[in-house]
Amino acid sequence: MKRLAVFCLACAFVVLTGGALIELGPAAIDLRGQVAAQLAASGVSHPVTAVLLNFRGYDTLLEVAVLLIALLAILAVTDKPPAAPVPAHPLLQAVARGATPAMILVAVYLLWAGAHRPGGAFQAGAVLAAAAVLLHLVGLLPGWGAPGLRLRLGLTAGFALFLALAAALLSQGALLQYPPAAAGTLILVIEAGLTVSLGLILAGLFLFLSRDEGGET
Amino acid sequence: MADPLVGLVLLPLGWATLAFVLGPGRGAWAALAGIAAQAWLAWLLAAQVGAGGTARHAVGGWGAPLGIDLAADGLSAALLLLTQWLALGVALYARSYFAAGDPARRYFWPLAGFLLAGLNALFVANDLFNLYVTLELVGLAAVGLVAAAGGERQIAAALRYLFAALAGSGLYLFGVALVYGVYGTVSIATLAPLITPEAPRLVWIAGGLMALGLVVKSALFPFHFWLPPAHGGAPAPVSALLSALVVKASFYLLLRLWLGPFAPLAPAAAWLPALLGAAAIFWGSWRAIRAERLKPLIAWSTVAQLGYLFLIFPLLAVPAAFGAGVMQVFAHALAKAALFAAAGVFIQATGQDTVAGLAGAAARLPVTLFAIGLAGMTLAGLPPSAGFLAKWQLIEAALALGHWPIAVVALAGGLMAAVYVFRVLRQAFCLAPAGAPVAAVPRALEWTAFALAAASVLLGFFGVDLMTLIEVRA
């Protein structure tokens, strides 16, 4: 009975929202046009990267902080040592060994490509993290315990660099105001730092949680 | 930090990162130095806003709607001031509260830093999507603080909190997406002139979803289910930050949208939050009166006190109602931080958390008990406290519009608050059972609790200044 009521409510909502969506005209403001008009001054030629790292770079800065907080929350609740790695079938290990250099290469390519086509730090970091998880799953990379100084520096370096540059650019007049001539270089530097740190953070979301209890997954 | 607006966001982000790099349990001094600087910046900002009107900053130099604009009007400046000064008190308290090896301390400072950064960013944000990101910052940091090194029950409470927080921000984000679909912008300043009472149906749906999401995050009855276990189970300094500031952030946002871009649509629904607020006052107070343990009692009192904030919505035609809401935010924040701080002192001294265990507290911990008394004055709304001013303005606004039931609810809620506060005080004046051990408590704990409670009463004398500040609107 309860399930039926929820189902009916959800259907009513979908019909209502869908109906309201259909009667909608064009938006009052065309942001795509504005992005296109300012793209030349953004330092990159791909509109998504221009929005993420330049026009709305402040959002991205805070989003990286959100990821860092998620990792901190996980670290705060886990205090048991990591599980010992369980070696998988040698064939799987060989495949993972072979795939890892290729994945690192893909990550670097994605980072580089972000300036002019789909790609960028988040995608590159995700590929790096996937490589680490793959190595962990075949038993070549042990789970992570409480992070040491080097790992802590690695986890925060990208965010700290982004934050420091954002603050330093206050001298240009506003937070994250890139000088147009240097914008491309600065964005690449920030994305490179973010790639490393996001890779470590995303890998950490998995590897810090890999404990004896709760099974090996 | 030429611009206090930006400094208030960057500073906590900076010291939170530093505290994490320094290592588990470290970073207290970085945090204290950072928060002290923030308190100074908030003061500068309030002076700047008071003298020169709304402060603005266009991030990246682009300007809305292409870029993101930050803005602080009187309301933002006032809440920033409250956040930094209250955080300073709680940080001083927390430094003495956590023992050297306490596992809850390992990531307290970085998480608290990110929490403050999220709150400050939320108070200066002027862009619906940027606000969503700040809501996530605040929500996740708060969940992390609740979960930190707790037992099974605490982690269960944190998970429940996480689901409520995510459902709330998910609903909000859905609404933002619909608004963007209709108008093509998420900048509040750009949206404000576009939304009219003839807006398409989709905007009404979007407004409803956003309001619902924020109400869940503010723990308004009946969405309060996650609050008592989360706030009642966390370590005392965390409970203080959560009850005092975090639930107020989503209320602030609701009020800002209600009075801002959604003002043409809002009056249609004004009575719904007020009705739920009244229910929250009665149900929360009743559960507080019945509570057997001290911290859950204080947490239920938060559910009740949040109810007052929602009573103002049908009254917003009268300026006094807006003042009442802000004054209640201030009064409750200071009083509730003081109460949780005082509860932490009792827990450390007696090793337990029951109301019955308070017997003998009057003789052994007089300063802390005095703090509870002062904070209780504010909660019950006795003069000259800030809580009194809040209720006074609320009742004045209710009577000016002829909505006397709201005045009755406010008065009845004050009486019920007096009952649960008196219950605690009465127990404290009972004689202690012979041989009950009382551990020594750092004096810094007692005096920070006292300072917070005293501030909640003394603020009553500065009501006019606060009201002048929040009158500065965009």
* d(C-alpha B63, C-alpha B66), whole Å: 6
Higher pLDDT, A118 or B7: B7
For residue B36, give Cα distances in angstroms to A100, B107, B244, B271.
47, 20, 19, 41
Residue A211 β-bridge partners? A82
CB distance A17 to A6 below 8 Å: no
**What's the one-letter identity of residue B276?**
L
Question: Which pLDDT tens digit goes with each residue over A3-31?
Answer: 999 999 999 999 998 888 888 878 888 88
Does the bond joining B296 to the residue before it have cis omega, within 30 degrees of 0?
no
Burial call B201-213: b when 16+ CB within 10 Å, e when fewer: ebbbbbbbbbbbb
- Average pLDDT over chain A reads 91
Q: Is A189 helix (H, G, I), strand (E, B) or coil?
A: helix
Nearest C-alpha of chain B: how many angstroms from A49?
14
Inside any domain, residue A38 = yes
Q: Which residue has the higher pLDDT, B474 or A2?
A: A2
Please classify residue B75 by burial: count the beta carbons closer than 10 Å to its beta carbon, then call 0-12 exposed, 13-18 middle and 19+ buried: buried
pLDDT level of residue B103 (50, 70, 90 thresholds): confident
Q: Which of A66, A75, A167 sits opposite B10 (nearest CB)?
A: A167
Please report which confidence band the pLDDT of residue A215 belongs to, taking 50, 70 and 90 as the band edges. Answer: very low
Chain A, nearest residue to B136 by Cα: A66
Cβ distance of B181 and A30 shorter than 8 Å: no
Q: Which of B281, B245, B265, B309 is nearest to B91 (CA)?
A: B245
Distances B93 to B90, B371, B441 between C-alpha atoms, Å: 5, 14, 12
Chain B positions touching A20 (Cβ under 8 A) are 200-202, 205
B277: closest CA of chain A, how far (Å): 25
- Contact present, B92 and B448 (Cβ < 8 Å): yes
Residues B104 and B97: their CA atoms lie apart, in Å, by: 11
Q: CA B227 → CA B173, B206, B322, distances in Å? A: 22, 26, 25
Percent of chain B having pLDDT more than 70?
Answer: 99
Cβ within 8 Å, pair B6-A170 = yes
- Answer whether A58 sits within 8 Å of B59, measured CB to CB: yes
Q: A66: pLDDT confidence band, cut at 50, 70 and 90?
A: very high
Tell me, yes or no, whether A216 lies in a domain: no
What are A189's two structure tokens? 């530097």
- The token pair at B150 is 């707790």
- Quick check: A73 and B117 CB within 8 A? no
Contact list in A for residue B114 (CB cut-off 8 A) is 65, 68-69, 72
Residue B64: per-residue pLDDT? 82
Q: pLDDT at position B361, please?
A: 84
Q: Is there a contact between A21 and B202 (Cβ–Cβ < 8 Å)?
A: yes
Chain B CB contacts of A34 under 8 Å are: 65-66
**Cβ distance of B61 and A174 shorter than 8 Å:** yes
- Comparing CB atoms, the residue among A24, A62, A73 nearest residue B121 is A62
pLDDT tens per residue across span A131-151: 999 999 999 998 898 899 999
Q: CA of A104 to nearest chain B CA: how many angstroms apart?
A: 26
Note whether residue A39 is domain-resident. Answer: yes
In a domain, A217, yes or no: no
ipTM of the prediction: 0.94
- Tell which of A72, A176, A208, A211 to mutate to test the B interface (max B CBs under 10 Å): A72
What is the C-alpha end-to-end distance of chain B, expressed in Å?
24
Distance CA B297, CA B274 (A): 23
A214: in domain? no
Is pLDDT above 90 for A190?
Answer: yes
At A35 the three-state DSSP class reads: helix
Grade residue B237 by pLDDT with cuts at 50, 70 and 90: very high
B-chain residues near A55 (CB < 8 A): 60, 62, 66-67
User: Is residue A213 in some structural domain?
Assistant: no
Residue A199 CB coordination number (10 Å): 25
pLDDT at residue B2 in the model: 59
- Whether residue B68 and residue A174 make contact (CB cut-off 8 A), yes or no, is no
Question: Is the model's pLDDT at A212 over the cut of 60?
Answer: no
Question: A117-135 burial, b for 16+ CB within 10 Å, e for fewer?
Answer: eebbbbbbbbbbbbbbbbb
Residue A147 lies inside a defined structural domain of this protein = yes
Sequence-distant (≥ 6) Cβ neighbours of residue B340 within 8 angstroms: B231, B236, B237, B239, B240, B243, B244, B295, B298
Q: What is the pLDDT of residue A217?
A: 42
Nearest CA in chain A to B155: A77
A175-187 pLDDT tens trace: 999 999 999 999 9
Q: Which two tokens stand for residue A99?
A: 């795939």
Residues B323 and B158: their CA atoms lie apart, in Å, by 33
**Average pLDDT over chain B, rounded to an integer:** 93
| 3-class SS string, chain B | CCCHHHHHHHHHHHHHHHHHHHCCCCCHHHHHHHHHHHHHHHHHHHHHHHHHCCEEEEECCCCCCCCEEEEECHHHHHHHHHHHHHHHHHHHHHHHHCCCCCHHHCCHHHHHHHHHHHHHHHHHECEHHHHHHHHHHHHHHHHHHHHCCCCHHHHHHHHHHHHHHHHHHHHHHHHHHHHHHHHCCCEHHHHCCCCCCCCCHHHHHHHHHHHHHHHHHCCCCCCCCCHHHHHHHCCHHHHHHHHHHHHHHHHHHHHHHHHCCCCCCHHHHCHHHHHHHHHHHHHHHHHHHHCCEHHHHHHHHHHHHHHHHHHCHHHCCCHHHHHHHHHHHHHHHHHHHHHHHHHHHHHHHHCCCECHHHCCHHHHCHHHHHHHHHHHHHHHCCCCCHHHHHHHHHHHHHHHCCCHHHHHHHHHHHHHHHHHHHHHHHHHHCCCCCCCCCCCCCHHHHHHHHHHHHHHHHHHHHHHHHHHHHCCCC
Q: Which of B18, B20, B161 to mutate to test the interface with A (most CBs of A within 10 A)?
A: B20
- Per-residue confidence (pLDDT) for residue B474, from 0 to 100: 59
- Alpha-carbon distance of B327 to B334, in angstroms, equals 11
- Contact, B213 vs B249, CB < 8 A? no
Model confidence at B393: pLDDT above 90? yes
Is the confidence at residue A214, as pLDDT, over 50? no
Report how far residue B319's alpha carbon sits from residue B33's, in angstroms, rounded to the nearest whole number.
Answer: 38
The CA angle B269-B275-B279, to the nearest 5 degrees, is: 150
Residue A56 structural domain: 2-207
For B283-317, the pLDDT digits (tens) are 999 999 999 999 999 999 999 999 999 999 999 99
pLDDT digits (tens, 9 = 90+) for B244-286: 999 999 999 999 999 999 999 988 889 999 999 999 999 999 9
Residue of chain B minimizing CA distance to A59: B130
Contact B181/A24, CB-based, under 8 Å? yes
User: Of B111, B185, B205, which is closest to A76 when you measure between CB atoms?
Assistant: B111
Residue in the block written with tokens 């939304």: B195
Q: Which two tokens stand for residue A132?
A: 């680490």
**In this predicted structure, which of A118-127, A144-153, A208-217, B137-146 has the lowest mean pLDDT?**
A208-217
What's CA A37's distance to the chain center, in Å? Answer: 27
Q: Which residue from B minimizes the CA distance to A14?
A: B205
The confidence score (pLDDT) of residue B1 equals: 46
Nearest partner of A34 among B188, B190, B176, B474, judged by Cα? B190
Q: For A29-50, what is the mean pLDDT?
A: 90
The tally of domains found in chain A comes to 1
* pLDDT tens, residue by residue, B18-64: 999 998 888 999 999 999 999 999 999 999 999 989 999 999 999 88
Q: What is the mean pLDDT of residues A117-126?
A: 92
How far apart CA B276 and CA B116 sit, in angstroms, is: 29
Residue A201 lies inside a defined structural domain of this protein: yes
**Residue A216 confidence (pLDDT) above 50:** no
User: For the segment B168-211, what is each residue's pLDDT rounded down to a tens digit?
Assistant: 999 999 999 999 999 999 999 999 999 998 888 899 999 999 99
- B149, B41 Cβ separation under 8 angstroms: no
Q: How far is B268 from chain A (nearest CA, A)?
A: 19
Q: Is B188 exposed, middle or buried (0-12, 13-18, 19+ CB in 10 A)?
A: buried
